[in-house]
Structure formats: C-alpha cells, structure tokens
Amino acid sequence: MNKIAMPNSVVHLDLVIQMHAMVSDAIRVMEQSNLKTAFVVDDERILRGIVTNGDLRRFILAGGKIDETVDAVMNVDFKAVLLDSFPEEALKLFDLGYSMVPRIDKTGRYIDYLTPDHSHQLDASANMVVRARAPARISFAGGGTDLTYFFSRLNGLVLNAAIARYATTTLIARPGPEIDIHAHDLGVHQHFGSLMAMYDDPEPSLISATLSLIKPQFGFEIHVASDFPVGSGLGGSSAVTTSVIAAFNELRIDRWSRYEMANLAFQAERISFKINGGWQDQYAAVFGGFNLIEFRPSGNNVNSLRLPQDIIDELEESLILFDTGVAHSSSELHKIQKSQMSGLDGDSKLIKLTQYCVQMHQLLSRGELIKFGEGLDEAWTLKKQTSTAISSPELDLIYDTARRAGALGGKLLGAGAGGHMLFFAPPGTRSRVIAALAPLGCRSSPLRFDMRGAHSWRSRGQK
C-alpha cells in the first residue's frame, strides 16, 4: 500500500487543545499559524473535533462566549485521513476545496495535518544534465467519471492509452541558487534569484507551481518543450508536469513510485495551479501503455493491459488523429460540465459511461476491433448527452463527415469543444476519411502508442 508521504520534511505546529479547554484557549492556539485552526482531542489524544476561524465567527455571532468550553464551538463533522491511507485520499479532499486535512491512526488518535503545500526533498551535483519524457494520451471511454466530485460518491472508470507524443524536460543543476525556467512552447523565460524568489512570484506558471512542491535545494536551469499544441485535448499539461517531476525524480535516492509521481502531478496541476479537470491524464502520462483505471472513494487503481502486438499494430493502422483547429479551455469546460452533470440524471449518464468502459475493455482485449470502433460511436453519443459544452455544430459537422466517409466511430478528446478528434476507420477507408475532413480544416496525423510512460536519463555532458 502506498503511504501518504507528503509532510515528511515539513515541521508542523502542534495545534492541539483538550476537550475541557476554553474557547479562549482555542483562539490562542489558532493564532499560532495561518491555518487559524485548532484540533480538539481527549485525554487519549483521540481527535474529537476541529475549530476553525469560520466556526469561531459563527459561534460569536450566535452569542457564544469565549469562557465557554471548546466543545460548544468545535465542528465534529470533519474530514480526516488515516496514517496508512492512499496518498490520493488527501488530494481528493484538497481538490474538493479543503485547505487542511488532519491525519489520524486507526484508533482515531491525532497524528498531524496535511496541507496542499508539501516538501519533496532531493539533491544534485552541479552541472549535471538530466532529461525526462512523458507521453500525451487518448481516451477511449469513461472521461468525466475521473472527476473527484463524481467518484468521491460513485466509482469511476476510464479506458485510455498513452501515445508517442511527448513533453520533454531538460534539467541542468547549478552550484548557485539561481533558477531559470524556459517554457519553449509558450516562448516564456522566467529568471529567479532563488527558490524563495520563485515562491514570491505573483503570477506562477504551471512549471513553477510544480517546482514549488518539489522544493529542490539547489539552483538549476530547466527547459520544457512538447510536440503537441497547447489546448490539444491530449492531456498535454499533465505530460508537461509529469516530465518535470520525472526529471527531478532522476536525482532522488529514494525515488517516487509511479503512483506517487501521478499524485504529485495531480497536486501540482489541479490543486496548486488550479487547472480544473480529472485524474486520468496524470496516470496515463506516468504509466504509459493501455490502462483501465479505477477511481474509487478510497484508492485509485491502474490496471495496465498487456495486449498482443498484432492488436496494437492493427489499432494503430485503424485510428486517425485529427487536429480540428478549434481552440478551447479544458479548465473552463470542466466547470461548466460539473454544474450541468450535477444531480441524479448526470450521475446515471456517467454510470452508463463506466459500463461502456467495461464493454470497450473486453472488445479491445479480445481483438474485436470492428466492434470496438463501433463502440466509440456509442460512447461518444452518450458523452455528448452529459453536457451541452462538450460539442458544437462545427464539431458535429466534422464527426458526421468522417462517419459518412467510412469511419465506424470516434470521439473528441479531452474535455470537449475543441482540440483533437480521434476516429476509427478500417485501413481501406482511411484515405477517404482524411480527404473528406481536409476541406474542413482538419489536419490528420498517424498515431503510435507509447508503452514506456514517463522516464528519465542522464545526458553525457551535452546541454
């Protein structure tokens, strides 16, 4: 079992008070940290309640007095994670808006607390050159069920695959504290005199947000580039984040596991940098290959598929990737989709998408690729029903044109509304589909799968 390792190098104040303490005692404890929180325990240190600034404000406004005992103000309906729980337990709560989560042992004893800002220590020799690569992904079915608000109540399931389009990071360690970040896709160069100066940047980037979690104790120069466009719908931001993490992981003695890397990427992207979205992209970028990923209220689980090479080869010859040229913002789309999918009707549609995942997985594993291609059409039809923001008349025209030209099925990749479209077309109809979509401004490209996932290596001196 993967343990929560987030606070390993973070020293926390012991913001604890006893059940018999006064509200005034809680106030004094709360003033010790910017959390403005106190943890209420009994004589056995069992966590009985939490007092926050909001609890205290409501208590005072309701006529409460500071010389009353703290049980009058404490919140007993709190969220906590077990000491030996999966790392994503706390991340899910942070993704749902919690700013602090207490940790307890199996008896309920208070241990410490977690926050969205953690330290991940490592070291490096000056002038060391490291490179890392992480793949983008395509999703076949289940997208949307990997959102925390859904699978924190119901199980989610996604079938996806990593593809041979990559974000690549080059990391060069320095003897001094200075930091240079080059995001070549965006044409951006950031220079900081130290790690603390980077923390003070009022407009952090995705890369600097990731570095703020890793907290390297040395200066460095970092270059990040990718061979897919921004807003591609291919999970590009997760590939970028994962490639940065993989580069620094190369320098660790106690390396992060694949699950730990994916969780750290989610933490950087979704919680620190606040890009709305699900969890599948990070797992695809880290694990590579074909994966059936289970999302549960407890721990997530990646089931890697071992497909025969002839099935993979035939799938590569039958799938066509198209850049629609339609721009979109996945973070904003996820906000819209979340509001539209809330409620029993939205839940029922997402549950049905998980059922399609099971069917698609069976067809893929058995090599029944014609039925698999037809299943893409059924899954896409259902996915469009979950939100009006997923498709558009322009995208519907592209999809219908491809189907008339011989594609058995397909789908828009990512959150929707733009980016890339994937189509399944038997090799004999491939050229017709490409020719039919060219007048609509869709650029085709061959698709090859990545089976390695995120990986890193040390370069022999060349930058």
Residues with a known catalytic role: 281
Percent of the chain with pLDDT over 90: 65
Q: What is the pTM of this model?
A: 0.84
**283-287, 354-358, 390-394, 415-419 — which one is most confidently predicted on average?**
283-287
Q: How far apart are CA 296 and CA 293, in angstroms?
A: 10
The token pair that represents 297 in the structure block:
């209220």
Q: What pLDDT score does 131 carry?
A: 97
Task: Kindly report, residue by residue over 49-92, the tens digit of the pLDDT.
Answer: 999 989 999 999 999 999 999 999 999 999 999 988 887 888 99
pLDDT band at residue 6 under the 50/70/90 scheme: very low
Judge whether 334 and 235 are in contact, CB under 8 Å: no
Nearest partner of 307 among 159, 461, 174, 455, judged by Cα? 159
**In the predicted structure, residue 340 carries a pLDDT above the cut 70:** no
Q: Which helix (H) or strand (E) holds 400?
A: helix 393-405
In angstroms, the CA 198 to CA 193 distance is 8
The yes-or-no verdict on residue 124 having pLDDT over 90 is no
pLDDT given for residue 387 in this prediction: 74
Model confidence at 1: pLDDT above 70 = no
**Residue-level pLDDT at 118:** 59
Report CA Rg, the chain. 24
Give pLDDT, residue 179: 96
Domains along the sequence of the chain with CATH: 16-114 (3.10.580.10), 129-305+451-458 (3.30.230.10), 309-445 (3.30.70.890)
Cα 85 to chain centroid distance, Å, stands at 19
